[in-house]
C-alpha cells in the first residue's frame, strides 16, 4: 500500500499482473554456513524471522505502520548481526558489522552499500540485512530484506576461469556475427553462492527469472563497473528443475530430453554468458539517443535478447566448452528450455519474456526450428546453433550497431509480441494447458526434527497465488 494526500492507505498496482496465471513451487534449502553451523544457523533463522516481521510492517512505498515496532526490530537485528560477526571469518565479519552499523542508524545505508560493493569482496558468508530494492520496476523503495548465502569456492573457480578466457569466447562471437568490433568494456563481478535463507522482500514474488541479488541493491551512486551480482547457484538449478523441465518436457521435441541435460554444469556458464552479453557493444553503440523513442519495455526486450543470444554463442565457444566439460548440444538444450521458462512469464508484461518471444519467433519464422499446430517445438543442434548465430547478426545490425531505432522497430514488428508468429502457438499452449507449472519459487529449510520449516512462510505446502 501507499499513502495518498489524505493519509489514507491505498493499494499500489500489482507487479504480478492480475490477469495472468501464477503459481509457486517450493524448494528445499539444505546448505550450511561455512563457520560453526550449529550456532550460526539458529541465529540466521532468527534474523530471517525478524526480517519477515520487519517487512510486514512496511507499506509498498517503504513507510512503516509502526515506527516504534520497526525501531525495536532494528535494534534486535543489529545486535544479532554483531553476534553473528563473532562466529564467522574476519572478511565476512567486517561486512556484517558494516551492515549492523547501517541498520542501527549509526551509518548511512546508501554509503554502506556503496562501500561494501567497492571492496569487491568475496566473503565466505554473504549477508544482506536492510532495505533492498529487488526489482526497480516493482518499486523504487528499499524494502526490508534478509539474505544469507555461502560462497561456492569450486564453482567460483570455474566462473573465474570463464572470465579469464572471455576474449576467446568473444572471438567466436565476432566470427559468428561478422563484427570484429564487438567487445566487453568491463566485467561485472559475480560471486557464486548457495542460498541458505531469505526473508522479507528478498523472499517475495515475483522473483527475478534467474534468481540473483541486484547488482546495486537499488542504491544510486555506483558506477556500472563497481556493481556486482550475487549468483545463487543452488536456487537457479532448483528453479530449472521445478519450472523449466516440466515446460520443456511438454513442449520440446529434440535430440536430448530436458531432464538429461547436466544443468549443474550448464546453467552457470549460461547466466555468466548472459551477464557478459548485456555489456557487449561495438564502437558505434549509442542507445541513449533513441531508446526513449522505442519505449522502455520494447527496448528491454531487445536488450535481453541481445544478452541471451550473445551469451549463448559465448557458451558454445571452444574455450568455454573445454572449461565447463559440456557439449554444444548440452548448452543448446539448456538455452531452448530456459527460453520457455522466460516466455511463460508473459511477453506482454516484461522485457525478458519479450526477448524469449523474439528469439523463438525468429527461429521458427526462418526455419531453424519447427512449431506444430499444438505449439510443440521440434529442434536439432545444428539448426538451433545456426539460427542463434543468424539472430546475433540480425540484432547486431538492427540494434547494437544501429544509428537509430528504425532497425529495432522493424525487427520487433516482425518477431516481437504480439506479432502473430508460430511462437504464439507455443505461448497459447502454455496458457491453456500448462498453467499449473509454477511461475516462481519459495524456499524452506528442514528443522532439527526433520520436518519442513520455513523462515519466510508459516508452512511448506505448495501454494498457488
- Per-residue pLDDT reduced to its tens digit, 213-240: 767 788 888 887 788 889 999 999 999 9
CA atoms of 357 and 364, how far apart (whole Å): 10
CA atoms of 214 and 227, how far apart (whole Å): 9
Per domain, the residue ranges of the chain are 20-453
Say which range, 191-200, 226-235, 404-413, has the weakest mean pLDDT: 226-235
Q: What is the β-pairing status of strands 229-232 and 190-200?
A: parallel
CA atoms of 39 and 303, how far apart (whole Å): 45
Average pLDDT over residues 446-458: 44
Q: Model-level pTM?
A: 0.91
Average pLDDT over residues 61-90: 97
Run of H or E including 199: strand 190-200
Average pLDDT over residues 375-400: 98
Contact 291, 301 (CB under 8 A): no
Say which residues have a Cβ less than 8 Å from residue 72's Cβ, sequence separation at least 6: none
CA atoms of 296 and 298, how far apart (whole Å): 6
CA 345 to the chain's CA centroid: 13
Has residue 8 got a pLDDT over 70? no
Has residue 458 got a pLDDT over 70? no
Q: What pLDDT is attached to residue 3?
A: 43
CA atoms of 399 and 386, how far apart (whole Å): 20
pLDDT, tens only, 121-176: 999 999 999 999 887 777 788 899 999 999 999 999 999 999 999 999 999 999 99
Question: Can you say whether residue 93 is alpha, beta or left, with left for phi > 0 and alpha for psi between -120 and 50 degrees?
Answer: alpha
Task: Tell me which residue has cell 520455513.
Answer: 454
For the packed helices 296-315 and 263-278, what is the interaxial angle rounded to 10 degrees?
Answer: 130
Rounding to the nearest 10 degrees, give the CA dihedral for residues 281, 283, 289, 292. Answer: -10
Contact 338, 302 (CB under 8 A): no
Give 455's pLDDT tier (boundaries 50, 70, 90).
very low
Say which residues have a Cβ less than 8 Å from residue 106's Cβ, sequence separation at least 6: none
- Which residue in 271, 272, 273, 303 sits closest to 173, CA to CA? 273
**353: Cα within 13 Å, side-chain hemisphere:** 20
pLDDT, tens only, 344-371: 988 988 899 999 999 999 999 999 999 9
Q: What pLDDT is attached to residue 6?
A: 43
Cis status of the peptide bond prior to 206, with omega within 30 of 0: yes
Contact 98, 116 (CB under 8 A): yes
Fold of 20-453: Fructose-1,6-Bisphosphatase; Chain A, domain 1 (3.30.540)
Q: What pLDDT is attached to residue 460?
A: 34
Most confident of 114-118, 134-138, 223-227, 460-464: 114-118
Has residue 457 got a pLDDT over 50? no
Measured between its terminal Cα atoms, the distance across the chain in Å is 18
CA atoms of 153 and 197, how far apart (whole Å): 19
CA atoms of 387 and 392, how far apart (whole Å): 9
Amino acid at each position: 500500500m501507499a499513502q495518498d494526500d489524505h493519509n489514507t492507505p491505498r493499494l499500489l498496482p500489482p507487479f504480478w499482473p492480475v490477469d495472468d496465471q501464477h503459481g509457486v513451487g517450493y524448494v528445499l534449502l539444505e546448505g550450511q554456513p561455512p563457520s560453526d553451523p550449529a550456532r550460526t544457523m539458529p541465529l540466521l533463522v532468527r534474523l530471517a524471522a525478524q526480517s519477515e516481521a520487519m517487512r510486514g510492517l512496511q507499506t509498498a512505498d517503504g513507510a512503516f505502520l509502526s515506527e516504534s515496532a520497526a525501531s525495536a526490530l532494528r535494534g534486535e537485528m543489529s545486535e544479532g548481526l554483531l553476534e553473528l560477526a563473532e562466529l564467522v571469518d574476519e572478511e565476512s565479519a567486517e561486512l556484517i558489522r558494516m551492515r549492523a552499523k547501517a541498520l542501527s542508524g549509526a551509518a548511512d545505508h546508501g554509503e554502506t552499500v556503496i562501500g561494501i560493493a567497492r571492496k569487491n569482496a568475496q566473503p565466505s558468508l554473504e549477508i544482506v540485512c536492510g532495505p533492498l530494492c529487488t526489482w526497480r520496476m516493482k518499486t523504487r523503495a528499499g524494502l526490508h530484506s534478509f539474505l544469507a548465502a555461502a560462497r561456492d569456492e569450486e564453482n567460483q573457480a570455474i566462473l573465474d576461469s570463464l572470465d579469464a578466457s572471455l576474449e576467446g569466447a568473444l572471438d567466436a562471437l565476432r566470427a559468428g556475427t561478422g563484427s570484429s568490433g564487438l567487445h566487453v568494456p568491463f566485467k561485472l563481478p559475480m560471486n557464486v553462492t548457495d542460498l541458505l535463507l531469505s526473508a522479507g522482500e528478498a523472499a517475495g514474488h515475483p522473483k527475478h527469472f534467474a534468481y540473483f541479488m541486484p547488482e546495486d541493491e537499488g542504491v544510486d551512486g555506483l558506477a556500472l563497473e563497481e556493481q556486482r551480482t550475487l549468483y545463487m547457484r543452488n536456487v537457479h538449478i532448483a528453479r530449472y528443475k521445478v519450472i523449466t523441465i516440466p515446460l520443456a518436457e511438454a513442449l520440446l521435441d529434440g535430440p536430448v530430453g530436458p531432464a538429461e541435460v547436466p544443468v549443474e554444469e550448464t546453467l552457470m556458464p549460461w547466466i555468466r554468458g548472459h551477464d557478459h552479453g548485456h555489456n557487449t557493444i561495438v564502437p558505434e553503440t549509442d542507445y541513449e539517443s533513441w531508446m526513449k523513442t522505442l519505449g522502455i519495455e520494447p527496448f528491454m526486450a531487445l536488450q535481453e535478447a541481445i544478452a541471451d543470444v550473445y551469451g549463448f554463442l559465448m557458451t558454445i565457444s571452444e574455450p568455454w566448452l573445454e572449461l565447463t566439460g559440456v557439449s554444444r548440444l548440452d548448452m543448446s538444450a539448456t538455452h531452448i528450455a530456459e527460453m520457455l521458462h522466460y516466455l511463460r512469464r508473459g511477453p506482454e508484461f516484461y522485457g525478458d519474456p519479450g526477448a524469449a518471444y523474439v528469439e523463438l519467433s525468429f527461429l521458427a519464422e526462418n526455419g531453424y526450428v519447427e512449431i506444430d499446430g499444438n505449439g510443440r517445438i521440434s529442434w536439432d543442434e545444428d539448426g538451433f546453433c545456426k539460427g542463434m548465430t543468424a539472430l546475433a547478426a540480425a540484432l547486431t545490425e538492427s540494434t547494437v550497431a544501429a544509428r537509430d531505432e528504425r532497425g529495432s522497430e522493424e525487427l520487433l514488428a516482425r518477431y516481437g509480441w504480439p506479432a502473430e508468429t508460430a511462437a504464439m502457438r507455443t505461448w497459447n499452449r502454455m496458457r491453456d494447458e500448462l498453467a499449473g507449472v509454477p511461475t516462481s519459487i519459495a524456499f524452506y529449510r528442514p528443522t532439527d526434527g526433520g520436518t519442513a520449516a520455513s523462515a519466510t512462510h508459516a508452512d511448506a505446502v505448495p501454494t498457488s497465488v
